[in-house]
Homo-oligomer: A and B are copies of this chain.
Amino acid sequence: MDQTAFAYRPLYVQVRDQLVRRLIDGEWQPGQHIPSEIELAREIGVSQGTIRKALDAMTAENLLIRRQGRGTFVARPEESRILFQFFRLVPDDGKPRFPDSAILDRRPAAATAAEVDSLGLSAGDRVWRVERVRTLDGAPLLVETLTLPDARVPGFGDLEAIPNNVYGLYSERWGITIGRASERLKAIAATETDAAALGCAPGTPLLAVTRIALDLENKPVELRVSRCLTQAVHYSSELG
């Protein structure tokens, strides 16, 4: 393996990139057992220690799960993992729980300027927009708008139902793995529409969370704007 390329990249980084590529290309499916360190070392032609550094890096990125004595597995977008990795709204007095969802609307549209910008589209590109309300213990928690580029999710309009865990859907239906996301939070006042959906008064302060979800190639997949009631719930963030 070329270790003296013009733009120098450590060998273990090159190995990591090659393995990520094989994940993207679907050679290994979510949940699947991948070859052991020794097999990969033989196959790729580097030492076991270098393979280990690459696998450790991918484990840190939540792409793999390693279990001593069992092997290395491709991470799956299960609810429990999503809950831990991507869902930061926590009841003030308890453990994180996954809210239920009810779809309010699903329709195709032309991307707005903001969507073009966030999702890396071109003017006039088609998108799907989904509006849903999510509840915790029956009480409305948030309303959110999901925007998906039509080109990324062919056949989206034919789906009979949209599951609660849409990241699992993206993975199963289109082989798209959400690797990371960036969120922007603001405090806003509830509009008439939001207030009706949430059962609160117009003007109620809401936590607006704008999320861009990226796949393993860091290409944007989904834009999500959530408006959340935070009376009994907070957004949790760990620094450092």
* Residues of A in contact with B (beta carbons under 8 Å apart): 61-62, 85-86, 88, 178-189, 203, 205-208, 210-211, 228, 230, 234-240
Q: Assuming the A-B contacts A203-B203, A206-B205, are A187 and B240 also in contact, with contact meaning beta carbons closer than 8 angstroms in the complex?
A: no
Shortest distance in angstroms between A207's beta carbon and chain B's nearest beta carbon?
Answer: 4
Q: Is the CB of B61 within 8 A of A183?
A: no
Once the chains bind, are B206 and A187 in contact (CB under 8 Å)?
Answer: yes
B238 and A180: CB pair below 8 A? yes
Among A85, A205, A206, A234, the one with the most B-chain Cβ atoms within 10 Å of its Cβ is: A205
Q: Chain B residues near A62 (CB, 8 Å)?
A: 240
Contact A240 B61 (CB under 8 A): yes
Contact of A180 among B185, B206, B230, B239 (CB under 8 A): B239
Residue in B closest to A234 when the chains form the complex, CB atoms: B184
| A183 engages B237 (CB within 8 Å) | yes
Q: Which residues of B contact A240 (CB under 8 A)?
A: 61-62, 85-86, 178-181
Q: Which residue of B lies closest to A231 (CB)?
A: B186
Taking the closest CB of chain B, its distance from the CB of A215, in whole angstroms, is: 11
Considering the complex, give the chain B residue whose CB is closest to the CB of A203: B203
Q: Which 5 A-B pairs have the closest CB atoms?
A: A180-B240, A205-B205, A187-B205, A185-B235, A186-B230
Given A205-B206, A206-B205: A88 and B237 interface contact (C-beta under 8 Å): yes
- Identify the interface centre among A85, A186, A188: most chain B CB within 10 Å of its CB: A186
